[in-house]
Every structure is written in C-alpha cells, then in structure tokens.
Amino acid sequence: MSAEAITTIEGKVRAPQGKIAIVAARFNAFVVDQMVAGAQQNLLANGVVAKNILLVKVPGAFELPLVSQALAARKDIAAVIALGCVIRGDTAHFDFVAGEASAGISRVSLETNKPVAFGVLTTDTVEQALARASMDAGNKGADAAMVAMEMCDLLLQLKVENS
C-alpha cells in the first residue's frame, strides 16, 4: 500500500469555539496552583481569550469527575481540563483516590463526547509533584491545556457531535 492512499487526520492546537473549563483540586494547592497557571498561560498563548476560560475549584482529586461532568454537559463548554495532585502516603488512600479520579474523568469524556484532559499528577513524593508542576519545564497543566485544544480540533475535523 502506498503512503498516498493513507488519510491522516490530526488535531491542531488552537482556540476552540466555546469556553474551556479548568477544574482544579484545592488539595495540594501548592502544586495544583502551578499547574493551573501553566494551563491558563498556554490557553492564552494559543488564542483562547480570558473570558472563555472558566476556573472551578473543588476540594480534591476525588471530586474532579463530578464537576467535570457537570461542566461538560453545558453547551457553552468546549472542553474541560481536570487538574489535581495525589501524592502517595503510607496508606492505600492514594490508590483509591487516584484510581477513581482517573476512571471518572475518562468516563465523563466518553459519556459527553467532549474532551476532558487528564491533568492529575500521581507521584510518590512532593519533589516529583513539584517537578511536574514547574513553570520552568514540564508543567503538566500546560500539557493538559494543549491536549484539550488539540482534541477539540480533532473532534471538529471528525465531525463528532458532543452533548
């Protein structure tokens, strides 16, 4: 098969029609707030106007799926960026919170046909979390913003209707 016969569709990072909601956990705010700043900075740098960015704070990572679902159900929301940080401790609490946040966020995206970017850090140490939230390099909030914009464009190209 020749390469000429293959159709490739790929999203582009650009401002979508509608608003982008950032849902951010307050727990471990010293990490998550840096991710929020990275996401906001990236959205603005890629043409999203400030009035089209909605920031909603929730208690912790476990609450991200419910609020993400409520926002994704709104017609004016093009995408959701879910940001949180779960740092491993001495109990199994980490596994339950991280697993449920991940599964719930994924489910929201599938049920609403809207991009819900997963920006929940799951680290063993505070140092690992801070490294992944650094504004100097590798800010995972900024990465999640890129994913949200690209997925909006990709779904638009695929002509996927969302709820």
- pLDDT one-digit tens code per residue, 93-134: 778 888 899 999 999 999 999 999 999 999 999 999 999 999
Q: Which residues are catalytic?
A: 93
**For the chain, how many structural domains are there in total?**
1
Q: Specify the DSSP class assigned to residue 47.
A: T
32 with 25: CB under 8 angstroms? yes
Q: Give the predicted TM-score (pTM) of the model.
A: 0.93
Structural domain includes residue 34? yes
**Average pLDDT of the chain, as a whole number:** 93
Q: How confident is the model at residue 3 (pLDDT cuts 50, 70, 90)?
A: low
Residue 70 tokens, joined:
């409520």
- pLDDT one-digit tens code per residue, 73-93: 999 999 999 999 999 977 777
43 with 53: CB under 8 angstroms? yes
Structural domain includes residue 67? yes
Residue 119 tokens, joined:
């920006």
Assign residue 150 the CATH number of its domain. 3.40.50.960
